[in-house]
Amino acid sequence: MDNFNGPGMDNFWLKQAFERLGKPQVRSLSKHVLADVTIVGGGYLGLWTAIRIKEESPSLKVVVVERDLCGAGASGRNGGFVTSYWAKYLSLHKKCGTHEAARIAKSSAEAVLEIGTFCRENGIDAEFRADGWLWTATSATQVGCWNVLLNELAKHHVRPFEVLDNAEVARLGGTDRNLAGVFEPGAATVQPAILALGLRTHAQKLGVTIYEHSPMTRLERTRTPKVVTRKGSVTSEKVVLAMNAWGAQFSHLRRKVAIVSSDMIATTANPDQLNEIGLKKGVAICDSRMFLNYYRNTPDGRIVFGKSLGHFAFAGRVADHYEGPSPRAGEVEESFRNLYPMLHGMDVESSWTGPIDRSVDGLPFFGRLDDHPDIFFGIGFSGQGIGPTVLGGRILASLALDEANQWSHCGLVRDDVEEFPIEPFRYVGSILVREALRRKEGLEDRARRPDALTLAIAKLAPVGYVPSRRN
């Protein structure tokens, strides 16, 4: 066992988690071992999968192989918004039909509460605050973009969102730059790295063996698959790939996800100033752009502010593009200052970036890698993974355990996944679309109409939160 000392040490949330919990002891894989199930990737998805398998079949030997430290990927560096799939109901409906879309969305709302219960029951102080999600508009074009969704949900007598009057939106968000909005009371926020480390500890308590600092260097797709690392290997009946953006290295998945950055900053703590503007509770807030602004306070009185700015990985190669401080922190700070000019005294203390595994329809998908009967994957969470990986864990556990149930037959287990164009067209196209979106949204912020070409290119963007013609 070593004391962890990897790249995750620079991460704002992980650093805070280590200060509170101490540095975890890590063990790497240095020999050949046998297991029943090997899970590659120790983020939320891999850990929930491991936990579900052990809960159902305690006698199985379950191994997690992690490149860095569990939670050092997106799970330990996200915004901490724990939201349901009700906002993505239209996309779900298009893929899975009314009944299954409603079932998945309902389960995703239950998953939010389940995370709270999991933390409470297992003594994990991940700052779970069920203070809701405020979905806003910051330009006239964005106002009412949720109506098509709310109208569709109302037809099924589902009303997860409250329509707020504009003064209430401004009050709840602590800024009058939010012009209008709707509120989902069932949403929550967490300290993401503490949740990831809590899942890690819980998995270990259930008997899951976790090898960290052990990147998989090769996957042998033999009848009994083998996960090979630099100094060891695991042969097991089943393999689950829960590698997020890093999974795009498999040719089977490469064109089904585009890897883009999301970039975040955290300010210094000033709870008094947040109190003054009314940001007392832990409401999660985002606007209705494609390159979303998302932000909230922390219990110690900071603002964490994120923006999906889209640094694209050519051909799904993640490399080191998503490690360390954000090269786009200045642009994120500018958006924060535009929304909260009155918080000028709160400096940016930290910035970071991370990879998002964006699918064309904004939904994750699950299946068998290259039709191998015993190698499963889950990918494509598209920047919304904290709640949905709870469902993802159920899906992957059911598949790995050969169960025939509502999760192994879930509408998100699918082959008909739309693909992005081949390289270099995807890369060049992504940059064109990103610049068109920047221009469009910049003009809309200044109450100006974008030209027809800009609008046409911007419409090629994959599906986000905002309901569009592609839903």
Ligand X SMILES: Cc1cc2nc3c(=O)[nH]c(=O)nc-3n(C[C@H](O)[C@H](O)[C@H](O)COP(=O)(O)OP(=O)(O)OC[C@H]3O[C@@H](n4cnc5c(N)ncnc54)[C@H](O)[C@@H]3O)c2cc1C
Should residue 79 be labelled a site residue for ligand X when binding is judged by CB under 6 A?
Answer: yes
Q: Can you state the angle between helices 388-400 and 89-121, rounded to 10 degrees? A: 90
> Alpha-carbon distance 363 to 94, whole Å?
11
Should residue 381 be labelled a site residue for ligand X when binding is judged by CB under 6 A?
Answer: yes
Should residue 365 be labelled a site residue for ligand X when binding is judged by CB under 6 A?
Answer: no
Cis peptide before 424 (omega within 30 of 0): yes
Residue 371: partners with Cβ closer than 8 Å, 6 or more residues away: none
Buried b (16+ CB within 10 A) or exposed e, 278-316: ebeebbbbbbbbbbbbbbbbbeebbbbbbbbbbbbbeeb
Should residue 112 be labelled a site residue for ligand X when binding is judged by CB under 6 A?
Answer: no
Where do the DSSP E strands lie in 242-362? Answer: 257-267, 284-286, 293-297, 303-307, 348-359
CB 416, min distance to ligand X, A: 21
Q: Can you state the angle between helices 388-400 and 44-56, rounded to 10 degrees? A: 50
Should residue 363 be labelled a site residue for ligand X when binding is judged by CB under 6 A?
Answer: no
Among 174, 186, 225, 306, binds ligand X (CB under 6 A): 306
Should residue 386 be labelled a site residue for ligand X when binding is judged by CB under 6 A?
Answer: yes
Among 13, 18, 29, 41, binds ligand X (CB under 6 A): 41
Cα angle value 85/91/93 (rounded, 5°): 90
CB 28, min distance to ligand X, A: 11
Residue 413: DSSP 8-state: B
Which tokens belong to 72?
Answer: 């050092």
Should residue 216 be labelled a site residue for ligand X when binding is judged by CB under 6 A?
Answer: yes
Angstrom distances, CA of residue 74 to CA of 42, 218, 270, 352: 10, 22, 27, 11
Among 38, 138, 233, 244, binds ligand X (CB under 6 A): 244
Should residue 37 be labelled a site residue for ligand X when binding is judged by CB under 6 A?
Answer: no
Should residue 46 be labelled a site residue for ligand X when binding is judged by CB under 6 A?
Answer: yes
Among 160, 354, 462, 464, binds ligand X (CB under 6 A): 354
> Alpha-carbon distance 276 to 270, whole Å?
10
Q: How many residues does the chain have?
A: 471
x-or-dash pattern for ligand X, window 249-288, by CB under 6 A?
A: -------------x-x------------------------
CB 117, min distance to ligand X, A: 18
Should residue 45 be labelled a site residue for ligand X when binding is judged by CB under 6 A?
Answer: yes
Stretch that binds ligand X, among 73-81, 116-124, 397-405, 410-418 (CB under 6 A): 73-81
The residue among 60 and 74 lying less far from ligand X, judged by its C-beta, is 74
β-pair type (62-65, 209-211): parallel
Should residue 78 be labelled a site residue for ligand X when binding is judged by CB under 6 A?
Answer: yes
The residue among 39 and 458 lying less far from ligand X, judged by its C-beta, is 39
Should residue 467 be labelled a site residue for ligand X when binding is judged by CB under 6 A?
Answer: no
- Which residues contribute to the site for ligand X (CB under 6 A)? 40-46, 65-68, 72-75, 77-81, 215-216, 242-244, 246, 262, 264, 306, 354-356, 381, 383-386, 389
